[in-house]
């Protein structure tokens, strides 16, 4: 088994297990509370408006927006880690069919691994620093690495086979 395949299969399995563990701890310790907080804030915003307390209504609506912002990103990071890990394992099994030298294949595999780990991590870090440009840029770099690696893989698969 070549180094690029090992990187993809072993990295993919590790990332999938990590993504699942992250999802499990989130579901056990955070998700239910976050959902309660989200629905509670929205309901409180309307209740406060019914009592004509518009200041409290505004505060509750902002809390709802912030909680939802975090919740969406936590769930997205969990699902993207696992999804990208699965893609890495699939590609790992067939990576020899990609008609590039092993050096280029290792570069593509490394890009995919770094991008797959970095992109969801940057998304999760945004929940601690809402709207931070650096983290948005990191997420873009991560997703860019994944897209570039996948485009290279598609090109490699489509090239006429010169090796047996």
Partner 1 sequence: MPAIPRPFPDTASFAPANSVPGCAPDFAPMSARRLYIFGGIALIAAGLLFGDIFAVFILHQNAARQGEALIAASHAVAAGNAAAVNEAFSHLGNLLEDRGTKVDAHVHMIAAGYLALLLALVQPYIALSRQTKKSMASLFIAGGVLLPVGIFLIHYVGLAGSPFSAIGWASVLADSAGALLIVVLIVQAWGFWKYVRSRQLSEPELPGEDSMPRRALLTGGTILVLLGFLHGAYYAGTLLYEHERMETAILQRLINAATAGNLDAATTEVNNFGALAGARAVNIAAHSHIIEFGLLAMLLSFVQPFVFLSEKWKRRWVKLLLGGSVILPVFVLLELRLGLLAGGIADIGGLMVIVGLVGMLVGILRYSGGLDVTENDVAEADAAEGAR
Residue 85 near residue 13, CB atoms below 8 Å: yes
Q: What is the spatial distance between Cα 40 and Cα 24, in angstroms, rounded to a whole number?
A: 23
- Window 13-42: contact mask with partner 1 (x via CB under 8 A): xx-xx--xx-xx--xx---xx--x--x--x
User: Which residues have a Cβ under 8 Å from the Cβ of 76 and sit 6 or more positions away?
Assistant: 120, 123
Residue of 89, 104, 114, 141 that binds partner 1 (CB under 8 A): 89
Burial 2-37, CB ≥16 within 10 A → b, else e: eebbebbbebbeebbeebeebbeebeeeebeebeeb
132 binds partner 1 (CB under 8 A): no
Residue 49 near residue 43, CB atoms below 8 Å: no
Is residue 132 classed as helix, strand or coil in its secondary structure? coil
Residue of 4, 57, 67, 116 that binds partner 1 (CB under 8 A): 57
68 binds partner 1 (CB under 8 A): yes
Give least dist CB 7 to partner 1, A.
12
Residue ranges in contact with partner 1 by CB under 8 A: 1, 6, 9-10, 13-14, 16-17, 20-21, 23-24, 27-28, 32-33, 36, 39, 42-43, 45-47, 49-52, 54, 57-58, 61-62, 64-65, 68-69, 72, 79, 82-83, 86-87, 89-90, 93-94, 97, 139-140, 143-144, 146-147, 150-151, 153-154, 157-158
């Amino acid at each position: 088994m070549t180094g690029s395949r090992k990187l993809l299969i072993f990295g993919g399995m590790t990332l999938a297990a990590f993504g699942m563990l992250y999802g499990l701890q989130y579901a056990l310790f955070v998700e239910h509370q976050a959902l309660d907080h989200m629905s509670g804030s929205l309901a409180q915003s309307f209740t406060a408006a019914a009592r004509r307390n518009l200041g409290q209504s505004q505060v509750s609506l902002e809390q709802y927006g912030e909680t939802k912002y975090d919740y969406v990103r936590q769930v997205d990071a969990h699902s993207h880690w696992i999804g990208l890990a699965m893609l890495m394992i699939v590609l790992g099994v067939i990576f020899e069919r990609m008609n590039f030298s092993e050096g280029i294949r290792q570069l593509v595999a490394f890009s995919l691994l770094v991008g797959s780990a970095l992109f969801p991590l940057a998304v999760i870090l945004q929940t601690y620093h809402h709207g931070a440009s650096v983290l948005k840029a990191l997420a873009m770099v991560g997703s860019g690495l994944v897209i570039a690696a996948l485009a290279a893989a598609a090109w490699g698969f489509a090239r006429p086979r010169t090796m047996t």
